[in-house]
Structure 1
């Protein structure tokens, strides 16, 4: 995994890219880096108002639905923003890539690192709310932190693969953007899989939504200790560990296959 070992070998360069991306993200704003907390909070508030208040979505026997919703949002928001930003990162940095020889994988990975800041902010918000409104979760809510770390690893691998492909095939960015909307509704963030109207009559479809969508085990593993105060489901957690390893390997494989072409085609 020398592709990722370059993060350590060139950690000063990676830190520089990270600071540049973070400053660029909030450049010219009055609050500056304070938006790392304000933006996630505002985004979660919008979802809460739309789905829990206006739409009045309410899964069966789900208390504090607003908290159920908020506990499932951070992994999705982090994943989707990382993929969107990472997909175009190499293309946007093409002038630098053509002039200077450096480990190009650091570019999309720095974008993911930038989104980790917002992910941490969102996790802090939901962790505080869970500890306050769900006293039974106080012993195990902290498990959302290592689960979140696995989600970061999984996302980094996927983002690297997509960024590498988009440098060669520009349609990839648009395919990802188009896929994210239906992907959101196919991920059990607004609902519980067992509460779907067709869950009893079509169990195979529920299994497909659960195990065919790598974000489902991620969301379930992250939300369970926060919202229910229970250990993450063993199957979901193992799935997430394997998915993270596979994503890293896939990201490295795709990057290596196109690395020589990135400078000329980005």
Structure 2
């Protein structure tokens, strides 16, 4: 796909956009780039206190629930922040897009790269914790890195599609923002699908949460080698790979469809 091949062809420009976005994110702050570490850690601590310490329910009755929770957070946070940040990226770079002709897909993809910094930090934290707390995961934990790379590709494709569509139809960013909250609770981050109290009574609903939510395989494939000490199921892994290819194709298709209109619309 030429849309993504331009990342290599224009890698110096992409690196410049990434550095600019990263500096702009922390411009004027005293701690500067230290926030790339502080923010993910703080977010993880907040979730730990609220859902592992204060919120008690049958779904949290899992050994090392705090680590179970942490293992589900990195891919979700990366997904949510990337989609929200990239949605307006083309609009916010309108002056640059109008003045210079360059591969415009580099703009939203550089935003994803900026969010990738936090994803790397959070993944490194849960990897170390899993190696210490879950002995059974020491032989499988390393698998999280290739799975994380696939997740980055999945999120990049969706982010490109959202950014390109939002440049033409401004409602897209509001639709994304509205969907993220319910999607968070429909994704098995706070709970295990197998441990849901009503799972036995509503198997069709369980299947819907498992296979109707594209984020479920993402979280399950990320969590399995870290928390369960096992390779993800063939079904989850196949689902993740297929939806990643679909996301990349969708991103390229939407971008190519509106590329000629972006400069005029933003």
Q: Is structure 2 residue 190 aligned with structure 1 residue 217? A: no
Task: For residue 30 of structure 1, report the CA deviation from its aligned partner.
Answer: 1.9
Q: Is structure 2 residue 55 aligned with structure 1 residue 55? A: yes
The corresponding residue for 2:108 is 108
The corresponding residue for 1:139 is 139
Rounded to whole Å, the distance in 2 between the matches of 1:37 and 1:229 is: 26
Q: 1:220 touches 1:232 (CA, 8 Å); kept in 2? A: yes
3-state SS in 2 of match to 1:59: helix
Q: Is structure 2 residue 34 aligned with structure 1 residue 34? A: yes
Task: For residue 71 of structure 1, report the CA deviation from its aligned partner.
Answer: 0.4
The corresponding residue for 1:197 is 197
Q: Is structure 2 residue 249 aligned with structure 1 residue 249? A: yes
Task: For residue 61 of structure 1, report the CA deviation from its aligned partner.
Answer: 5.1
3-state SS in 1 of match to 2:200: coil
Pick which of 55-64 and 206-215 moved more: 55-64
The corresponding residue for 1:64 is 64
Alignment of 1:1-266 (within 5 A): 1-59=1-59, 62-266=62-266
Closer/same/farther in 2, CA of residues 65 and 58 from structure 1, 3 Å limit = farther
Count residues with an aligned counterpart.
266
Q: 2:157 touches 2:248 (CA, 8 Å); kept in 1? A: yes
Closer/same/farther in 2, CA of residues 121 and 146 from structure 1, 3 Å limit = same
Pick which of 219-228 and 57-66 moved more: 57-66
- Write the deviation string for residues 174-221 of structure 1: whole angstroms up to 9, x where unpaired: 110111000000000000111112211111111111111111001000
Unmatched tracts of structure 2, length 5 or more: none
- Write the deviation string for residues 59-116 of structure 1: whole angstroms up to 9, x where unpaired: 2651010000000000000000000001010010011101111000000000001111
Q: 1:224 touches 1:232 (CA, 8 Å); kept in 2? A: yes
Rounded to whole Å, the distance in 2 between the matches of 1:237 and 1:46 is: 30
Root-mean-square deviation (Å):
1.0
TM-score, with length taken from structure 2: 0.98
Rounded to whole Å, the distance in 1 between the matches of 2:148 and 2:234 is: 16
Which consecutive segments of 4 or more residues in structure 1 shift more than 4 A? none
